[in-house]
Amino acid sequence: MSPQEARARAAPGTATVPLRVGLLGLGTVGGGVVELLHRNGELLLRRSGRPVQLVCVSARDATKPRALSLDGLEFVPEARRLVERPDLDVVLELIGGLEPAETLVRAALASGKHVVTANKALLAARGGELLALARQNGVRLAFEAAVCGGMPLIKLLREGLAGNRLESIIGIVNGTCNYILSAMEEQGTDFAEVLKAARAQGYTEADPTADIQGLDAAQKLAVLATLGFGLPLRDDKVHTEGIAEVESVDLRYARELGYRLRHLAIARRRPEGIELRTHPALLPEQHPLADTHGAMNAVLLRGDAAGPILLRGAGAGASPTASAVLADLGDLAATVPHGHPEAPLDATDPPRVLTATETLSAYYLRMQVEDRPGVLAGISGILSEAGISIEAVSQKEPLQGERHATILFITREVPEQHMDAARARLVKLPILHGAVTWLRLLHTD
Ligand SMILES: NC(=O)c1ccc[n+]([C@@H]2O[C@H](COP(=O)([O-])OP(=O)(O)OC[C@H]3O[C@@H](n4cnc5c(N)ncnc54)[C@H](OP(=O)(O)O)[C@@H]3O)[C@@H](O)[C@H]2O)c1
């Protein structure tokens, strides 16, 4: 049913002037939005009390054959022309990237239109300025779809937890990283091999760099940390590491010790400031996030009043992301023109972001060492002098024909600078064969 038809059937008393929407981008998400508005337009009307009418669309290539039906929609060949139309209330920016998305979003906001976007890259780079522009023009910039697709995280942080002082946001926010690490864990194969298979089967972006280097997770974390901790909306303060260095042998050993490896995005309040980091980390297998497999996302939030809240769901894909876009459209339909203007998200006096060396983690260490007496005591001595307590040690006997044994350590939580100091000494040990492999480990949530 079209929004117009839905409007005709609206309950008595519902507003009948539709919210008029123009859509930029007809790819995975844009196509999903067209389809979902068609399918669930009536539900949206019932919940928001005002019809949402998709009026016109634009994409790069007007002649491209498309699987979706655009019946009844005007195709505007030039995106700029769509944004300039005076008969629209909302522009949906579903193009992605910085340009031309930024220019188009600025033009839409400046001309008094609300904008709904799924573009985390744009938000992480220019979000602060765009939100300010929205405020100046008395309109909203909504972005539920920019972080973790189908999970209503933004609304939860902005509204559901508005009465909480947030303590931590810890999440698996990149489906590609989680898919690769899950496959390495289950199949015992190396990173490069899993990535190659995932690419061949179309499970990754054509260029997966932003995913596997942790940049996509950092952009999402920047958005969440602004909402949760009032930090300025930008990703350049996020300590960012990816998963390309992870070795499958460590996933196997970690599993034997009762841990799972996941790529985490962490924003955590400490008395000295906010930890803001994305990197691979081990989790105890009973940790609420550890049981998240394949391309799924999961986020654990902790508010001082609400306590822990776990959300798990699809982080990407046409339908889940369209679900988030429709949530924003429903909000606008319910509140425009009487709704609240864009509120400043960043605090006037935001807390300090801690440096990577100030962050607290426990650690997993793997070393290959000569198999002779006194070796364990030497390593333990260095850790102890750096202020690092050992929680568990496990020694793997040398395989037949090998002279070197593998020793695994699990430490207690310490500031990263302590571990850096210990590693600088450990690598100089003459009994050491090869590198000191280390992974952070999160005991607490
Ligand atoms: N895919 C997901 O699962 C997902 C999940 C969460 C968030 N997002 C975000 O959603 C946004 C869209 O992603 P997507 O996966 O839907 O991208 P996509 O499939 O690559 O689609 C991009 C669309 O933008 C259009 N476009 C490109 N340049 C344009 C221009 N200069 N003017 C007008 N239209 C232009 C393209 O037109 P043509 O079709 O003519 O080429 C295409 O329709 C991105 O910000 C992405 O980060 C995506």
> What residues does ligand 1 touch, defined as CB less than 6 Å away?
24-30, 58-61, 64, 79, 94-96, 100, 118-120, 145, 149, 316-317, 321
Torsion of CA 269, 270, 273, 277, to 10 degrees: -60
Q: Smallest Cα–Cα separation from 328: which of 60, 196, 139, 171?
A: 139
What the block records as the tokens of 136 is 């100046």
Percent of the chain with pLDDT over 70: 95
Question: Treating both helix axes as pointing N-terminal to C-terminal, what angle do 416-426 and 375-385 enclose, rounded to 10 degrees?
Answer: 140
Cα(30) to centroid(ligand 1), Å: 7
Cα 118 to ligand 1 centroid, rounded to whole Å: 9
How many helical (H) and strand (E) elements, i.e. helices and strands, does the chain have? 14, 17
For atom 21 of ligand 1, which residue has the closest CA? Answer: 27
Residue nearest to atom 44 of ligand 1 (CA): 96
Whole-number Å distance, alpha carbon 137 to ligand 1 midpoint, is 26
Of the listed 220, 237, 396, 428, which one is catalytic? 220
227 Cα: distance to centroid of ligand 1 (angstroms): 25
Arithmetic mean of pLDDT over the chain: 93
- Residue from 23, 63, 92, 94 to probe ligand 1 pocket by mutation (most atoms less than 8 Å from CB): 94
Q: Ligand 1: which of 23, 24, 26, 28 to mutate, judged by most atoms within 8 Å of the beta carbon?
A: 28
The DSSP symbol for 344 reads: P
Read off the tokens for 277: 């980091």
Short-list 13, 28, 32, 24, CA closest to 55: 24
Q: Which pLDDT does position 7 carry in this prediction?
A: 38
pTM of this prediction? 0.93
- Span 3-150+319-335: which CATH code? 3.40.50.720
Cα separation of 206 and 200, whole Å? Answer: 10
- Quick one: which atom of ligand 1 is closest to the CA of 318? 3
d(CA 337, CA 322): 23
Q: For residue range 354-393, what is the model confidence (pLDDT) as tens digits?
A: 999 999 999 999 999 998 888 999 999 999 999 999 999 9
Does 157 score more than 80 pLDDT? yes
Which pLDDT tens digit goes with each residue over 202-226?
778 889 999 999 999 999 999 999 9
Residue 397 has pLDDT above 50, yes or no: yes
The mean per-residue pLDDT over the stretch 2-27 comes to 67
Given this model, what pLDDT does residue 13 score?
43
Q: Minimal CA–CA distance to 60: which of 37, 76, 36, 83?
A: 76
CA 217 to CA 281: how far, in whole Å? Answer: 14
Please give the number of the atom of ligand 1 that sits closest to the Cα of 119: 45
Closest-CA residue, ligand 1 atom 10, reads 118
pLDDT for 445 equals 61
Q: What is the DSSP letter of 341?
A: P
Read off the pLDDT band of 340 (50, 70, 90). low
Class for domain 160-311, per CATH?
alpha beta
Q: What is the DSSP letter of 316?
A: S
Could you tell me the residue ranges of all domains in the chain?
Answer: 3-150+319-335, 160-311, 356-441
- Of 225 and 4, more confident: 225
Q: Looking at residue 444, what is its pLDDT?
A: 67
Please give the distance, rounded to the nearest whole angstrom, from the Cα atom of residue 300 to the centre of ligand 1: 29
**Beta-strand pair 52-58/19-24:** parallel
Angle between helices 120-136 and 101-110 (to 10 degrees): 20
CATH topology of domain 356-441: Alpha-Beta Plaits (3.30.70)
3-150+319-335 and 356-441 have identical folds: no
**Which ligand 1 atom lies nearest to the CA of residue 64?**
40
Task: Specify the residue with its C-alpha closest to ligand 1, atom 28.
Answer: 60
The yes-or-no answer on residue 220 being catalytic is yes
Pocket test for ligand 1, best of 60, 120, 205 (most atoms within 8 A of CB): 60
Quickly state the pLDDT bin for 292 (edges 50, 70, 90): very high
CA distances from 226 to 123, 152, 219 (A): 11, 16, 11
CA distance 326 to 41: 9
Strand extents, DSSP E, 236-335: 239-240, 259-270, 273-284, 296-303, 307-314
Identify the pLDDT of residue 203: 77
pLDDT number for residue 4: 38
pLDDT at 159: 95
Q: For a pocket test of ligand 1, which of 93, 95, 211, 296 has the largest count of ligand atoms closer than 8 A to its C-beta? A: 95
- 64: helix, coil or strand? coil
DSSP code of residue 350: P
Q: Which residue has the higher pLDDT, 198 or 416?
A: 416
The Cα 113–Cα 125 span in angstroms is 21
In this structure, which residue's CA is closest to atom 41 in ligand 1? 60
Q: How far is the CA of 50 from the centre of ligand 1 (A)?
A: 27
Highest mean pLDDT among 9-23, 144-158, 200-214: 144-158
> Tokens 């994409």 — which residue?
59
- The Å distance, Cα 96 to ligand 1 centre, comes to 5
CB 214 within 8 A of CB 242: yes
Q: Length of the chain, please?
A: 445
Of the candidates 356, 294, 336, the residue with the CA atom closest to the CA atom of residue 51: 336
Confidence band (pLDDT; 50, 70, 90) for 11? Answer: very low
Q: What is the pLDDT of residues 116-150, one digit of tens each?
A: 999 999 999 999 999 999 999 999 999 999 999 89
Helix, strand or coil, per DSSP, at residue 429: coil
Could you give the CA distance from residue 270 to residue 236 in angstroms, rounded to a whole number?
Answer: 20
Q: How far is CA 425 from CA 367, 393, 421, 422, 436, in A?
A: 13, 19, 7, 5, 10
